[in-house]
Structure 1
């Protein structure tokens, strides 16, 4: 068994992270073998669940930015190969995923579900807008996956090239659809024209809502700046990003709120890197280390790698580590119970057996009560949200009417030839404002749900402690029976449990509270060392994020079509025109209310969150209790048949106990490292 050392626990690189995952997987599989030997079937099911999660673990990086900012060149520089097409015109028209494979090829996935394999040199004919024909083909494509033997992607890293923003609406929608699904996003900005109005809006109203904790900022083209200007440009961009982040947080949390004050204190400097992707690509292709260093690319790559492994891994790896600690404790206690119980007389065991069963039943009753309390907490969480829900529609309507009332309209604007353009101009402002309001309320609702879950976890800590105490009582019932012989594993087990154990729910809550202290606001900005955010708390509990970051209503679809033209076109005079616009917009809001029950959707979202928490409590509790009861029942049968433990069986248990202790030791050291990263 590999004992931990500095090299083994260094997971700030892809290689180190992957080795750590391999070590944890090996330990989990070994515990599963031990569990099978001891017939701990329920615990093994939880291990199997964790192994599946680890097997599917990967890193997805989305490269985003306005068109012609050098996104494809940046990706090619990461890969060290000229793979993705680049051009002076807007180029990418689909999502292009780059993943590792020994043999180079491209798989085209069409929107109708068809799959087509093509050679890499044919890629520009499918995923660009460089010709009319390729533009028509790209419209039918959902995603193109480029398989290539690139070292950077060897460690389960996928890089996603997104279409340029602010090119056309369909391209922007494609990019926005992928953001919630990735582990990190890189926003590419040009040094020569940093922060257009569109980039500012995208950062504040789109990217930040998906978790700034997962965003790196890359300023390309620094080779075209004077050397003494580069630092000034980067500082200016970093300052502006920080300003937008605080503005967003103030709007979402409330400028006078305690949450905003805490958030402001915690906010670190955004990660902004100045690079020359062209120099980096050329340096890698030609093997020119001097040119590569000049591009400032190596520093960016190193931080990206650490960002994806150490920060993210501190949360992701907490789940398998907690499972190892919990299962190890259960196995060691089971071994000690077995050896002690089989050394007892039948009457003594019967008495202790009944005492243990009573303790199990008591714990099950307590669990039932806790599940009922979680239901009550879910109802209270929803009721707490009610004032926010009540003000949503009035806010949406009043702000929309204010736009209509205050917009500048001249007599010329409502003449027959101009009126449709005027309507669309005003409608665009109303629509953009409505989308921002909807997004803001969605984020505030999500934050309140997360806060309610956090409070529930604090409350459930008491149950976690009671469960731990109850399991200890069951264990102690069978320790040191009258007249017991010298037991081979007793010293091993007692030492291990005393030193390393974080069993079951206790381990879960420990991880939860570490994350909770560092918990993030505004979609996770600044949380967990800046690497992960929304949903990371639940990830620590091993609960999948079952609710989306949602917009309450589909505002965009409501403001499309020609309904407004028909509704307002015949209104004469500026005030009559305004009145017509107000009436038409309010009517559409009424339609929106009918199409989707906003309050019902929020209630469902709250229930999903708390139901996931209940499922975790149920599974964690019943896993231990079922395996414990099964062990006791098996022992009861053996004792009634007057079976005794053979020397061979004792030796096997001793071997298992020693193996589990080493695994526990290993996991305990890793756990301390994960905690130190989370607690930065």
Structure 2
């Protein structure tokens, strides 16, 4: 069964559950079902195209779309991230760094305002969202993402990979068959792309029309061996294409040229990867887990209602008072939470500072060695371009090594808060019920569980943009102090050996304080990231707890009201609950079997 068919089946299933519980006062459950339905309906397959400037990425995307949409030229063109998706109306949205969106008519003139040769600040633009009614985009809910060159030293543009690549179903790496696997491409593969999973990378060797036909296989073999050596992975997927020929074939309606261009084969590979790729499986399992959690929550609420229905009106009123009394303790809960969170935050910050202090010592030592051993003559260029790249690598490596640990700490904090609130509430309610002698042999109907309070956002990898949010701060303004050092008068373009030694001595005296400033800015960014998530977890735990109290109170109130109705109405309600429970048990059984076996059919 295809991914699209599985999604369609789940949507039908969720709609059935939604209809069955529509008459029940499950406010939060209704929201969760609607959110899941919306997420599935708006599920996209993302295809990201990366590669150096002038390797034909935009031309290739135009060929896929069967129209000359994106600007192309012999000079570097793409200076922004261009996300192309389905839209019945053609439109252009400029999503800016300040979170504002400018809506424009989709024209060539409008798009050309954002090419590399234009005078605009790329740091002010997050991405361009382009909507067109292209068949390729509609059939599979595909988003095509055209990116700037991997050799683009602008930190904002090059770090876009951390916004799009982790979520991509397919990553197309565009090579130039006439000059395959340059140094910048090797670096990008090793430092960035390899960390995102080899199984999603498809290599395209463009410009096969510029290589003698009898040499194509030889060049492909060389390129594949080179990639295998870099990747440490033999099964490299690489396909020769001629993107411009694909465009010409489209315009001339030349089927033979279209086939020769390699585009049909690549289209087939992309579709296959989208259906069977790892990202589709990840999203599908996430949908399964979310639906299973919703069904478990509904089952629990129905069990609660069934148990409440066995109690008398007087017993229900006493239970209502026990819940009501718990509201008076909410401020105590909040105070305990604030103190607990503050203590954990201080512990997190201490660990963070120790780690970045260690990073600082390591970076300074390596930077000093790099400067001392520099043998070139253009030290200004070295400071302006190579030292920022050197620093950026170290910061990226630190994020790669520590992001899982950071998220694990936040996850543990979230679970601890949920467990604390659960324990406090259940202990209080049990005490009140024992005092009122209302404990039933069938169990207490309104316990709160940890899962009721914890939204497991950290576990799902949804915290504040995940690793991408931190990766985006390792360039840009943070590195400006290092780049600014290139403006020192002593660091001239060309220096004789004696002057070079003087320049290096001066540079060594200045690099320490400069790195201190860079690392302090990085520390503050990571601190802000962690504190923002800690606040979100704290607020979320309290909100979830309040929701549970309100839901319990509403359920008891509803049962008290039912006692005022005739027995026929009560029996009808119980019959409906039994029907819903029976249906859910069937669904829950299927979910558990799929999640335990990993079978996705």
Which TM-score band applies after superposition, normalised by the shorter structure?
0.7 to 0.9
Aligned to 2:350: 383
Change (3 A) 1:47 1:379: farther
Is 1:145 matched with 2:130? yes
Give aligned pairs, total: 570
Residues 138/213 of structure 1: CA separation in 2 closer, same or farther (3 Å cut): same
1:576 to 495, 502, 527: 502
* TM-score normalised by the chain length of structure 1: 0.67
* Structure 1 residue 671: Cα displacement: 5.5
Query: Residues of 1 paired with 2:294 and 2:38: CA distance?
Result: 15
1:175-230 deviation digits (Å, cap 9, x = unpaired): 53364145214322345543211101122334456x34795232335796768768
Out of 305, 309, 312, the residue aligned to residue 335 of structure 1 is: 305
> For the Cα contact (< 8 Å) 1:280–1:297, is it kept in 2?
no
Distance 1:43 1:92, change over 3 A: closer
- Would the alpha carbon gap of residues 227 and 579 (structure 1) be closer, same or farther in structure 2, given more than 3 Å must change? closer
Choose which of 629, 635, 640 in structure 1 pairs with 2:559: 635
Q: Residues 622 and 161 (structure 1 numbering): CA distance in 2 closer, same or farther, change over 3 Å?
A: same
> Contact 2:295–2:588 (CA<8 Å) still a contact in 1?
yes
| Counterparts of residues 191-206 of structure 1 (less than 5 Å) | 191=177, 193-206=179-192
CA positional deviation for 1:65: 0.6
Separation in structure 2 between the aligned mates of residue 87 and residue 80 of structure 1, nearest angstrom: 18
Q: How many angstroms apart in 1 are the aligned matches of 2:550 and 2:66?
A: 54
Secondary structure of 2:391 counterpart: helix
Q: Structure 1 CA distance, aligned partners of 2:314 and 2:103? A: 69
Aligned-partner Cα distance in 2 for 1:274–1:459 = 50
Conservation of the 8 A alpha-carbon contact between 1:431 and 1:555? no
Q: Which has the higher contact order (CA 8 A, sep 6+)?
A: 1
Give distance in 2, aligned partners of 1:432 and 1:17: 44
Residue 57 of structure 1 contacts residue 156 of structure 1 at CA under 8 Å; is this kept in 2?
Answer: yes
2:367 aligned residue: 400
Describe the SS at the equivalent of 2:483: coil
Alignment match, 1:538: 458
Aligned residue number for residue 587 of structure 2: 666
- Taking structure 2 as the reference length, the TM-score comes to 0.75
* Distance verdict in 2 for CA 1:617–1:23, change over 3 Å: farther
Mind listing any 5+ residue stretches in structure 2 that lack a counterpart?
none
Contact kept, 8 Å, 1:94 with 1:138, in 2: the verdict is no
Q: Deviations over 1:312-363 (max 9, x none)?
A: 313541464144224312441243034322xx3x555556666777999999
**Which residue does 2:382 correspond to in 1?**
425
| Deviations, residues 535-569 of structure 1 (Å, cap 9, x unaligned) | xx736387654772244674431233476423656
CA positional deviation for 1:77: 5.1
Superposition deviation, residue 302 in structure 1: 0.5
Q: Quick check: 181-190 or 365-374, which moved more?
A: 365-374
Which secondary structure state, in structure 2, belongs to the residue aligned with residue 340 of structure 1?
Answer: coil
Shift of 1:309: 5.8
Match of 1:274 in 2: 239
SS in 1 for 2:277: helix
Counterpart-to-counterpart distance in 1, 2:174 and 2:216: 20
Match of 1:586 among 491, 499, 512: 512
Aligned-partner Cα distance in 2 for 1:377–1:678: 39
1:156 deviates by 3.4
1:557 maps onto 2:480 in alignment: yes
The equivalent residue for 2:273 is: 303
Would you say 1:216 and 2:201 are equivalent positions? yes
Determine which of 3, 8, 17 is the counterpart of 1:19: 8
Q: How far 1:145 sits from its partner (Å)?
A: 1.2
How far apart are the structure 2 equivalents of 1:321 and 1:180?
27
Q: Which residue of 2 aligns with 1:450?
A: 407
Consecutive unaligned residues in structure 1, runs of 5 or more: 1-9, 244-267, 414-420, 482-496, 498-502, 513-536
Structure 2: distance between partners of 1:305 and 1:462: 39
> Once the 2 structures are TM-superposed, how far is the Cα of residue 468 of structure 1 from its aligned partner?
12
Separation of aligned partners in 2, 1:198 and 1:173: 17
Q: Which moved more, 1:303-312 or 1:52-61?
A: 52-61
User: Aligned runs of 1:232-311 on 2, under 5 Å?
Assistant: 232=221, 236=225, 239-243=228-232, 272-274=237-239, 276=241, 278=243, 295=265, 297-307=267-277, 310-311=280-281
- Measured against aligned partners, the alpha-carbon deviations of 1:91-118 in whole angstroms (never above 9, x if no partner) come to 4444333211235x34264979654314
Query: Residues 204 and 238 of structure 2 are in contact (CA less than 8 Å); yes or no, is this contact kept in structure 1?
Result: yes
Note the C-alpha offset of 1:391.
1.8
RMSD of aligned alpha carbons: 5.0
* C-alpha deviation, 1:397, in angstroms: 2.3
